[in-house]
Amino acid sequence: MERDEETEWILAAQNGDIGAFGKLAAKYQNMIFTLAKRILNNKHDAEDLSQEVLIKLFKSLPQYKAQAAFGAWVYRITYNESLNKIRKKKRNKETYDVTENEKENWTETKNVLDTIEAKDRKAIITDALDQLAESDRFLIMAYYFEELPIKEISDMTSLSESNIKIKLHRSRKSLFNILNTPILKEHRV
């Protein structure tokens, strides 16, 4: 029933019904903000981007063809706009690559995390994630924290499933290296 209602809102909004678009915006605004904040790592930038994404959604709505779920389409636009904002802000920022095997080194990273006292674990993980490139942080957050399937992440990012696996591996490796830096090791002592 909820999906049928959403479909009605989409069709009405595509025909210019502002109220129907308002209902869609209300339904997805928290997801847009949360994703933007995770990628941009800045509340104010995420708020600004959320407004920009809603405007883009409104303008792009006539092109939505329902080949993917509407939520996935919104997620993808938010993801792409977040990366565009980062590119504009940091033209020269270096990004990390990522590799193929999905489990390799994650066990090592988990073992490092097991040695950290529980009260400090969240702060240390957050600090380490903040040091990753935005696209790598997004992949780690989407796959491990939001438990999204690789197929869905692939749909959102326009990357192949094998490329997602490669990037996840490399992101985990980078995260492991960050967690093993002397500064973060000091937090554990």
Residue 32 in any domain: the answer is yes
CATH number of the domain that residue 167 is part of: 1.10.10.10
For residues 82 and 117, membership in a common domain is answered with no
Q: CA-to-CA distance for 28 and 51, rounded, in angstroms?
A: 12
* Domain termination residue (choose one: 59, 89, 119): 89
Q: CA-to-CA distance for 149 and 65, rounded, in angstroms?
A: 22
CATH number of the domain that residue 58 is part of: 1.10.1740.10
Residue 96 in any domain: the answer is no
> At 37, which helix (H) or strand (E)?
helix 18-40
Residue 18 in any domain: the answer is yes
Residue 94 in any domain: the answer is no
Written as six digits, the tokens of 181 are: 């830096």
Mean pLDDT of the chain: 77
For residues 78 and 114, membership in a common domain is answered with no
For residues 7 and 84, membership in a common domain is answered with yes
Q: What is the pLDDT of residue 174?
A: 86
Which residue is associated with the tokens 């499933």? Answer: 161
* Domain termination residue (choose one: 38, 57, 89): 89
Q: What is the pLDDT of residues 84-127, one digit of tens each?
A: 888 777 654 444 434 434 444 555 555 555 555 555 666 777 77
Which residue is associated with the tokens 């090791």? Answer: 185
Low-confidence ranges of the chain (pLDDT < 70): 1-3, 90-122, 182-189
Residue 101 in any domain: the answer is no
- Torsion-angle region of residue 158: left (phi > 0), alpha (psi -120 to 50) or beta? left
Burial of 99 (0-12, 13-18, 19+ CB in 10 A): middle
Q: How many domains does the chain have?
A: 2
Q: Residue 75: name the closest of 7, 22, 146 by CA.
A: 146
**What pTM was computed for the model?**
0.56
Q: What is the pLDDT of residue 142?
A: 80
Residue 128 in any domain: the answer is yes
Boundaries of domain holding 20: 2-89
For residues 75 and 130, membership in a common domain is answered with no
